[in-house]
């Protein structure tokens, strides 16, 4: 198994989203001890936004392929995504949606004639589906009865990743990280319990498959 672990918090290893996404990776290794892991920490803005050459390439079907600048980086990131059997994304919620660092990665990998094609009904993904685990941290609460802000991150990621063929998404969240320490600890426990329940179910399903 090849695991691609992407993180997008500017707080790095101190971030809640990275902590939660690392737990997901650890659980994947529990089930697959010999897995290969590729880690990309992109929260520091190291991945630039796409450049003019990339934009011109995407503008026309006759533009051909370029091999420099953002186009070369796009090739690299897409190949990395294609090799992955499982993708783990750790991201904060910024201003109700994804941070700009995650948007930059999306702009590199959601690419016409490479990861999707246009049809009369819209974009059709060209990648084969695989599990994508998304760990989200938010200063406020955006789900459940105590939500007090809208959520544009979850529907956006579902839609944009589906456009390239990735439909098997699982979301886990730590919400209210701007609250008191005891509330944050409680939110962490909720997220950890959800993770444990998910992977326990996967273990049960694998055991049933082994009996078939």
At residue 14 the predicted structure's pLDDT band, cuts being 50, 70 and 90, is confident
User: Residues 151-198: pLDDT tens digits?
Assistant: 999 999 999 999 999 999 999 999 888 788 888 898 899 999 999 999
Amino acid 85: pLDDT = 97
How many Å apart are CA 17 and CA 43, to the nearest integer? 11
Amino acid 61: pLDDT = 59
How many Å apart are CA 9 and CA 91, to the nearest integer? 6
Q: pTM of this prediction?
A: 0.90
Which of the listed CATH numbers 1.10.8.100, 3.40.50.360, 3.40.50.970, 3.30.1330.20 matches domain 2-211?
Answer: 3.40.50.360
Q: Which residues contact 179 (CB under 8 A, 6 or more apart)?
A: 187
The domain locations on the chain are: 2-211
* Cβ atoms 115, 165 nearer than 8 A: yes
Tell me the torsion sign for CA atoms 5, 8, 13, 14: negative
């Amino acid at each position: 198994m090849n695991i691609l672990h992407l993180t997008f918090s500017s707080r790095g290893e101190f971030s809640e989203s990275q902590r939660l996404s690392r737990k997901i990776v650890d659980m994947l290794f529990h089930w697959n001890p010999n897995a290969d892991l590729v880690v990309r920490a992109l929260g520091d803005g190291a991945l630039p936004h796409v450049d003019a050459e990339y934009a011109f390439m995407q503008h026309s079907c006759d533009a051909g392929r370029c091999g420099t600048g953002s186009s070369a980086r796009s090739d690299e990131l897409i190949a990395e995504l294609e090799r992955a059997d499982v993708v783990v994304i750790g991201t904060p919620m910024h201003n109700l949606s994804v941070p700009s660092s995650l948007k930059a990665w999306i702009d590199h990998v959601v690419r016409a004639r490479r990861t999707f094609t246009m049809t009369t009904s819209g974009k059709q993904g060209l990648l084969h589906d695989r599990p994508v685990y998304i760990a989200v941290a938010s200063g406020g609460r955006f789900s459940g009865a105590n939500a007090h802000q809208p959520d544009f991150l979850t529907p956006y990621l579902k839609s944009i990743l589906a456009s390239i063929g990735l439909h098997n998404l699982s979301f886990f969240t730590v919400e209210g990280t701007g609250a008191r320490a005891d509330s944050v600890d409680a939110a962490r426990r909720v997220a950890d319990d959800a993770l444990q329940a998910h992977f326990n179910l996967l273990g049960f399903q694998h055991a049933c498959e082994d009996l078939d």
